[in-house]
Structure 1
Amino acid sequence: MSSVLSKGSRSRAVLAAFGIALLGFVLALPAGLVVANAYVALTGNELGDVAVLGVSMISLQGVAFPLAAWLYIRYRGLSWEYVPFDVPDLSDAKYLFGGWILAFVAANVFAQILIAVLSTEPAANTGATTALQNPGIIPYLAVLQILLIGPGEELLFRGVIQKRLREQFSAWPAILLASATFAPAHILALSGGPVAAAITISVLFVPSVVFGYAYEKTQNIAVPALAHGLYNATLFTLMYIAVTYAPEEVSFLGL
């Protein structure tokens, strides 16, 4: 009997995890309308590619993901204490900086292996494409990765989704399942064929697992949030260097 109940509880946890992720993206639609209209009203300008990129980041990672996290926490009658947060200390540093470096190295090695085996380049990220066409915004995007993108994504996918899964699963199944909700979600921002998209999603799974492990070990959402932000900021920094000094060799894979 207890085994059946356990299986049912685990199934509900998995459904909740994917449901919370879906809620985050659904909420991005009305959030995007509000932010876009506010931009047009305040600036008097139409939405160009750069503005669309900024609106999408603010709407998704800045509004929709935190709102989805808050709604779930409220639904369960909990408080923000559900997501442990503290200023990282020395004991957190090895997971923060180690996670940042490991995610970067592992993702790039894995990407090169997949490209060599499948003989296909990864799918292009539409945000990265916009950045390459407007290189002056890249430094600002790098900063936003640390201040907005990393915190917004980690709050939802690690602080809430992985935490919910951890109530029913041991550490590694929870980390892998949370990453399974995270990596495929990026398909909306990709352009290219199915094989190219599969390569990019597979690569994105790697740093997601690293960030999940960092959260598991530290129980401090600030650690994966900063590691994630630094990882993305590194990619944008390298992009800026490449587009400035070697534009013919530019390639980009990012979270």
Structure 2
Amino acid sequence: MAAFTRRRSDGPIYSTLVAVGLAIFGIVAQQMTTLPAFLLDPALATAPTETSIASRAAVLILGFVGFFVAGGIYLAVTDRGWSYVDLRWPTRREWRYVLAGVGGGIAFYILISLIVQVLSLPSAENQVSTYIGNDQTMILVMIAIVFVFNAPAEEFLYRNIVQKRLYDAFSRLQAVGIASVIFGLIHFPVYAALSESLLATAVPVAVVMGGAAIFGFLYAKTDNLLVPIAAHAVFNGVQFGLVYIALEYDLETAEQSTSLLFDTVSLVVAVALPF
């Protein structure tokens, strides 16, 4: 079992600033890698759901490639090399962590979505949903993207690079908390651009922090990047699968009980899919 130890080769302020810089660098790299997609199909910036599935898939994939690029550059510049990446096939015990992470994530987001509904809290639209719309084929494509690009890229940069970098100055639990806050805050501008109020922005940002904490804890406990990757991918895959089912069976216009299910699924996806 990975011990929650403290290693202090850096001061906490310096280590935090480096982690924030890495997170921001990831967003900058993402903007650069998606630029070719927008140049080839400018409509992606104004009416993404009217573009082809290939164009939408390309911009999403290239965005996650940006995270790989940012992390790779950091490993090269700091001479850490690819041996710094904690990637191995999970043990039986680690697969149990994967299942616990998926189950805990689903329970957490269902609870949050119900709280949002009961309190009638506003929530900003997610940027990924602007590329999907009600296109069922795009939802299936997005499930593939989640497994191949989304989960591996985000976990690589924000867990194996950002969170692990924080281990140099903080305990692992502290590093999980700080990395989760950083991960949530870098999404603030994205949600703010799609929101009409500060509260509507704060709700999904807070939920993103919670999700990051779950996956960060899995990584801290196992020192195996494949564990949070697997949990993240399955969790997001379940989310998109539920949306596909809701659209396939037209739950939005069904009777009240199934309509509530559609609202819950929509809220979960709207606040839980960081991009």
- Mark yes or no: TM-score above 0.5: yes
Conserved? CA contact 1:111–1:199, under 8 Å: no
Q: State the distance in 1 between where 2:213 and 2:226 align.
A: 16
Conserved? CA contact 1:183–1:204, under 8 Å: yes
- Structure 1 stretches lacking a partner, 5+ long: 1-5, 41-45
Conserved? CA contact 1:150–1:229, under 8 Å: yes
Q: State the distance in 1 between where 2:104 and 2:55 align.
A: 32
Offset at residue 197 of structure 1 (A): 1.6
- 1:56 is matched with which residue: 50, 54, 59? 59
Q: Greater helix share, 1 or 2?
A: 1
Which one is further off, 85-94 or 185-194? 185-194
Conserved? CA contact 1:132–1:243, under 8 Å: no
Aligned to 2:31: 29
Aligned to 2:4: none
Q: State the distance in 2 between where 1:55 and 1:136 align.
A: 15
Letter in 1 for 2:204: T
Q: State the distance in 1 between where 2:9 and 2:164 align.
A: 18
Aligned length: 243
- Closer/same/farther in 2, CA of residues 52 and 123 from structure 1, 3 Å limit: farther
Conserved? CA contact 1:123–1:196, under 8 Å: yes
CA deviations over 1:154-197 (Å, ceiling 9, x no partner): 00000100000011100111001111121233345432222112
Aligned to 2:164: 163
- 1:16 is matched with which residue: 18, 31, 44? 18
Q: State the distance in 2 between where 1:86 and 1:221 align.
A: 8
Q: State the distance in 2 between where 1:184 and 1:52 align.
A: 28
5 Å-filtered alignment, 1:1-255, equals 9-37=11-39, 48=51, 50-51=53-54, 53-61=56-64, 63-117=65-119, 119-190=120-191, 191-193=194-196, 194-245=198-249, 246-248=251-253, 249=259, 250=262, 251=266, 252-253=269-270, 254-255=272-273
TM-score, normalised via structure 2 length: 0.81
Q: State the distance in 1 between where 2:17 and 2:246 align.
A: 42
- Structure 2 stretches lacking a partner, 5+ long: 1-7, 43-47, 254-258
Aligned to 2:3: none
Letter in 1 for 2:98: L
- Closer/same/farther in 2, CA of residues 181 and 51 from structure 1, 3 Å limit: farther
RMSD: 2.3
Task: Classify the secondary structure of the residue corresponding to 2:210.
Answer: helix
Aligned to 1:3: none
Offset at residue 56 of structure 1 (A): 2.9
